[in-house]
Amino acid sequence: MSDADTLLEEVSSYLKPKDVERIRHALEFSDNAHHGQLRQSGDPYISHPIAVARILTPLHLDPQAIMAALLHDVVEDTDITNEDISKKFGKPVADLVDGLSKLDKIEFETTEDAQAENFRKMLLAMARDVRVILIKLADRLHNMRTLGAMSREKIERIARETMEIYAPIANRLGLNAIYQELEDLGFKHLYPNRYSVLAKALKVARGNRREVVGKILDAIRQRLTEHHIAAQVYGREKHLYGIYQKMQAKSLAFSQVLDIYGFRVLVDEVPACYLALGALHALYKPIPGKFKDYVAISKANGYQSLHTTLFGPFGTPIEVQIRTHEMHKIAEAGVASHWLYKTAEEPINDLHQKTHQWLQSLLESLSESGDSVEFLEHLKVDLFPDEVYVFTPKGKILALPRGATAVDFAYSVHTDIGDRCVAAKVNFELVPLRTELKNGDRVEIITAPHAKPNPGWLSYVVTSKARSHIRHFLKTMHFQESATLGERLLHQALTSLGLKAADIDNNAHWEKLLRDISIKSRDEILADIGLGRRLNMVVARQLARTGETGTSQENPASSGVVTILGTEGMAVQFAKCCRPIPGDPIVGVIKSGQGLVVHTHDCPSLRKGRSGMEKWLDVTWDKNIARPFEVSIKLIVANQRGVLAKVAAAIAEAESNIENVHVTNEGDYTALYFTLQVSNRQHLARVMRGLRTIPEVVRITRVKSVPA
């Protein structure tokens, strides 16, 4: 019997005759479209779409999905268009095929960009219809089974992509069999020697341990019968990559991995799970800390089961999974159980709701990242398999990746809570926001109305939702602040030309300028000025219709003085090399991409860059500026006990905060370098006067930088 006949026989077992006939037409259409095409292995190309469809038939997918599987390469590899498929097989099938088609006709700068954009498109389609990813996983599985005909470089790239993206997605959707086979095939192609050695060792061990496994199976069945628990019991072998991961994680030799065999107990109802657990714990002693209850708290992919590890005969650890038949169906088929089993709606509905929530969170990070490569990075993080389960104050359970922090928790509850969080309580105790959460933690987030995301959070958050929201907020904030600064710089330039902002601040002037330079909005130009990408004088002259071009090199310093308010945020930076504070004579330098950087007028680093005068601006402090500024001072003190405490007390008494302190020995004396927070020069002078009253202080000076 041919593969095509076998496929039609398989779908006949669960589909109506008219649906089987539609699949037959799709099969013939695909065969004709791919006529004469061969795979790299030399097989007729039609063998691939048939194999993909056959991987999906055990999941009992509907006719549309099976037809899309048969047609998934037609648009990519032949002259047939998506419109042709829509007319012949209907729009739903055409939409599935479109979601699976690569973006080969668009040129990308790098392979990484192309790969990222393909994933982006596929996941958008997947969010609309999860069947897209089911077909794509079947497609990838067959490709991995037949990867041998490729070049070594291509094999490694496809295998790594499978391990990083496709296998974790299959795991996330609860497709256990596909997930394990993808991991094993990826392992086989990435590390062929390790795979071969391990496979041989497993084959030998299988024979040696057959008798032990048989005895344990008989003992478990007998004990469950004695307790009047109806159950199916069978042994299961861990998949090869799972054994390899355990060897890697615990630095074990294969002979030390004793639990390559596990046992599975299937019962009729949830209470029977716990009765079976009690019976087995009476048969073999449980290993402390090795019990997990995924029945009460299911995994994010809907998986439910009791896991326990027991001391078996001869001291062999035995892993046992106990679950109901319904849980087992979902554990094996995951999100596809919707098509495979039409009963027990409650757990399936819950599973589909969780899958939908995950897809929606992917869409959020997709829309906010903007960059396909950045989104792919988010996706890899989001597919991290290990999870911790934590509780909200109201008792709701949230699943987060291992390593997640209080900030990740805040964003998983709601974006606004993440944006406004200022502190966290874990198990009723205040903890830093960077605290990693553990299983069972009760987490409460404290918010403030005017709080904002901190760029430093990006160094420790692990969820894609938190990372994408923080980046989006910072990008938006930076843009808005730069646009506000750019508007002030443009108004200064217009004033120097003898014009009032109101004279040209109307839509007609701006619309013509936007058309001339092909920019979408006024704010983009203002942000470019604020970030130093455009000269304020050039834009002012373009608006004033003086005929000047964008190559004007007029010194923007002639545009007047820019007032530093201290509230500009990221659009204005205060140079670390000289740490200016209110009261210091200052000068501004426009740096492309950074915006306005403020230095003291005698900053040594400015002497090297006098050639770039066209980017210098006269700046001055606003009289009412009220915010702390960092400043560095150096103290030479006598080496006496308690001197550091005296210095710190004097600084606190002068109402200044210590940001950093650095100590070096200089013979009989010690040099103390402090970074302090002060309001202005008068405040700094008050701090220094207080320090001079300490007898042990020999000398005190303000410094322009602190030693590393």
Domains defined for the chain, CATH in brackets: 3-190 (1.10.3210.10), 197-340 (3.30.460.10), 353-471 (3.10.20.30), 477-621 (no CATH), 629-703 (3.30.70.260)
Query: Which band of pLDDT confidence, cut at 50, 70 and 90, is reported for residue 619?
Result: confident
- Convert the pLDDT of each residue in 629-639 to its tens digit: 989 999 999 98
Q: How many CB atoms lie within 10 A of CB 160?
A: 13
Catalytic, 487? Answer no
Query: Distance (Å, rounded) from C-alpha 411 to C-alpha 165?
Result: 24
Token pair of 293 as six digits: 């209850």
Residue 283 has pLDDT above 80, yes or no: yes
Catalytic residue among 9, 76, 156, 226: 76
For 224-254, what is each residue's pLDDT tens digit? 999 999 999 988 777 888 888 878 877 777 7
336-365: average pLDDT: 57
580 backbone dihedrals φ, ψ, rounded to 5°: -65, 145
Give dist(CA 277, CA 123) in Å, integer. 40
Which are the contacts of 259, defined by CB distance < 8 A and separation ≥ 6?
A: 238, 309, 316, 317, 318, 319
* Banded model confidence at residue 364, pLDDT cuts 50, 70, 90: low
The vertex-481 CA angle with 477 and 487, nearest 5°, equals 145
Q: Given pLDDT bands bounded at 50, 70 and 90, which one contains residue 199?
A: confident
Query: What average pLDDT does the segment 540-550 reach?
Result: 55
Position 608: which residue type?
K
Amino acid 462: pLDDT: 86
Record the pTM.
0.59
Range from 142-146, 148-152, 414-418, 645-649 carrying the lowest mean pLDDT: 148-152
- 362: confidence class by pLDDT, cuts 50, 70, 90: low
Is the pLDDT confidence value at 181 over 50? yes
Distance CA 124, CA 555 (A): 49
- Partners of 444 in the beta sheet? 425
∠ Cα 134 138 139 (to 5°): 115
Residue tagged active-site, from 31, 62, 77, 505: 77
pLDDT at 651: 93
pLDDT cut 90: percent of the chain above it: 27
CA 537, 538, 544: angle at the middle one, nearest 5? 85
pLDDT of 105 strictly over 70: no
User: Quick one: pLDDT at residue 555?
Assistant: 42
User: What is the average pLDDT score of the chain?
Assistant: 80
What local confidence, expressed as pLDDT, does residue 274 receive?
94
Catalytic, 76? Answer yes
Residue 126 gets which letter from DSSP?
H
Task: Specify whether the CB–CB gap between 702 and 632 falls below 8 A.
Answer: yes
